[in-house]
Amino acid sequence: MSISTLLLILSLPVAGAAGFLARAYIGRVKLTSAEARAHRLVQDAVRDAEAKRKELLIEAKDQLLKEKNLFEKEMRERRQELQGIEKRLVQKEESLDGKSDQLEKREKALQARELENQEKEEELNRQQERHKKELERISGLTTEEAKQLLLKNLENEVRFESIKLINKIEEEAKRTAEKKAKEVVLSAIQRNASDFTSECTITTVSLPSDDMKGRIIGREGRNIRTLENLTGVDMIIDDTPEVVVISGFDPVRREIARLSLERLIQNGRIHPARIEEVVEKVTQELEENMLEEGEKAAFELGIPGLSREALYHVGKLRYRSSYGQNVLSHSKEVANLAGIMAGELQLDVMLAKRSGLLHDIGKGSIVEGEGAHAVVGAEMARKFGESEKVLNIIASHHFDKEPESFEAVLIQVADAISASRPGARRESLDTYIKRLENLEAIASGFKGVDKCYAIQAGRELRVLVANDLVTDERAEILAREIAQKIESELKYPGIVRVTVIRETRIVEYAK
C-alpha cells in the first residue's frame, strides 16, 4: 500500500467530521435566524393589533360622540317644540279668558235688554188694555160682542166668495167635461171606426176597365165579401169609372187589401180560394216588409239590441201618418235630432236615439191598450223589454207623465221641432204664421198684458204681464181667460199651453 493511499484513507474520517460540524453550524445559524424572524413577526403582529385596537377605540369614541350630539339635537328640538306648544296653550288660554269675559258682558247686556223688553211689553199690554176699554166705551160693545160681530161679517163674506168659487168651478168642470168627452169620443172613433171616409182612411185602386168591377164583386157578391172579411176593410164599388175605393182606418189592412186587389186584377183569376191565397201571401210579405223597414231604420240610426217585436212595430209606423206626416219618417227625424242635441249636451246619445225612434210606437197600434198613444207606446215598450228610462221618455213626450231625465226633455223638444218645422205637416207657411199671429193677438187684447210670444209652433203661448197692473191671483184668472178665448175663437191641432209670467224687478244704483 502506498503512502498516498494511506493518507487518503486517514483523511476520510476527518473530512466526514468536518462536514458534520459544518452542517451543524449552518443548522444552528438557520435556527437562530428563524427564531429572530419569528420574534419579529410576533412583535409586528402585536404592534398591528395594538394599532387596530386603538383605531377601533377611536372609531367607537367618534360614533359615541356623534350619537350623543344627535341625541342632544333631538332633545333641543323637542324642548323647543314643547316650548312652542306651551306658548300656544298659554295664548289659547288667554284668548278663552278674553272670550269668556266677552260672553259674560254679552250675557249681562242680554239680561238687561230682556228686562227692558219685559218692561216695554208690560207697558204695551197696559196701553192695549186702555185702548180696548176706550174702544168698548166708544162703540158700546164688549170685546166678546165685537169679536162675534166680526166673525159673523167674515162668515158672510166667506160664504159669498165660496158660492162664487163653487159656481165658477162647476162651470169650468162642465166645460172641461164636455171637452174631455169630445176627446174620448174622438179617440174611440179613431181607434175602432172603419166606416167613415176621410183623406187618411181611404185608398183607391185603378181598374183596367169597368168590366173588372163585376168580376171583383163575383156571383152574388161572394168575391168582394171574401176580400172584405179577410182584410177587414170596406170596398166601395160605385159609379165612379174604373176605380175601387178601399175604406178602413187601419192603414196596414188597407195596404194588404190594395196589394191583394192589384195582384188579383193583374192575374185575372178572381174567386174565393184564389183570394184567400193571395191575401195570405200578401199579408206574410207585408209583415216581412215591416220587419225589414224596422231593421233598416235601426241600422240607419245605429241602434243595436232592439227586439224583433220592437222592430216589427217600428216598421209598422211606415203605414201610419199624423197630419199628413209619415210617422216612421217623423220618428227617425226625432231620433236624429235628439241624438245630435244629446251629443252637444254630453248626455246619453244612444238612449236619446233609441227613445226617439220608439216614442210614437203606440201610434202603430189601433186597439192594443187604452189611453193616449204615449201611454200605450210605453206599455208596448215594456213588453219589448225596454228599460225604465225609455218607458218614461215614451210616456212623457206629450206630458202624460212627468219626465224623469234630461233625455226625456230632449225627446219633447225634438218631437216639437220635427212636427212644427215648415213643410213637415200639411199646413202652409202662411197659415202657420197667421195662426201664430192670431194667438198673440188674442193675448194682447187683455188688460195688463205687456208682451206675448207664440212658441213651439203655436203649441205654447207665453204672456208677460205688467207687475203693477196684474196681481198673482189675477194672473191665474188671466191665463184661464186667454185659454178659454183661444178655445172659442181658433181652430188648431193638439193643445195650446198658456203660460202667464209675472215678475218683480227691483233696480238700485250705487253712486
Distance CA 46, CA 33 (A): 20
Half-sphere exposure of 372 (CA within 13 A, CB side): 15
> Out of 51-65, 406-420, 442-456, 466-480, which region has the weakest mean confidence (pLDDT)?
406-420
Mean pLDDT of 425-431: 54
Q: Is the pLDDT of residue 370 over 80?
A: no
The C-alpha angle with vertex 405 and arms to 401 and 407, in degrees rounded to 5, equals 105
- Alpha-carbon torsion angle 335, 339, 342, 343, nearest 10: 180
Q: Would you place residue 231 in the very low, low, confident or very high pLDDT band (cuts 50, 70, 90)? A: confident
Q: Mean pLDDT over all residues of the chain?
A: 79
pLDDT at 421: 57
C-alpha cell of residue 178: 164636455
Mean pLDDT of 48-62: 87
Distance CA 191, CA 196 (A): 12
DSSP state of 449: E
Q: Is the pLDDT of residue 338 over 80?
A: yes
> Out of 93-107, 159-173, 296-310, which region has the weakest mean confidence (pLDDT)?
159-173
pLDDT at 503: 81
Residue 346 host element (H or E): none
pLDDT at 179: 64
pLDDT at 247: 79
Q: Would you place residue 6 in the very low, low, confident or very high pLDDT band (cuts 50, 70, 90)? A: low
C-alpha cell of residue 285: 210579405
Q: Is the pLDDT of residue 291 over 50?
A: yes
Mean pLDDT of 397-413: 83
Q: At what angle do helices 327-344 and 308-316 cross, to 10 degrees?
A: 120
- Alpha-carbon torsion angle 317, 318, 319, 322, nearest 10: 70
Half-sphere exposure of 216 (CA within 13 A, CB side): 29
> pLDDT: is 240 or 481 the higher one?
481
Picking from 420, 419, 415, 294, the residue whose alpha carbon sits closest to that of residue 356 is 415
pLDDT at 262: 85
Mean pLDDT of 97-122: 87
Mean pLDDT of 470-484: 86
> pLDDT: is 511 or 96 the higher one?
96
Q: What is the pLDDT of residues 174-229, one digit of tens each?
A: 677 666 545 544 443 344 333 333 445 677 777 777 777 787 888 888 888 888 88
Asked if residue 459 lies in contact with residue 416, where contact means CB atoms within 8 angstroms, the answer is yes
pLDDT at 139: 67
What's the burial of 470, exposed, middle or buried (CB within 10 Å: 0-12/13-18/19+)? Answer: buried
Mean pLDDT of 4-24: 69
Looking at the whole model, is its pTM more than 0.75? no
Asked if residue 376 lies in contact with residue 369, where contact means CB atoms within 8 angstroms, the answer is yes
Q: Is the pLDDT of residue 433 over 50?
A: yes
Q: Percentage of residues in the chain with pLDDT exceeding 90?
A: 0
- Size (the chain), residues: 511
pLDDT at 187: 44
Strand partners, 455: 460
Mean pLDDT of 39-58: 86
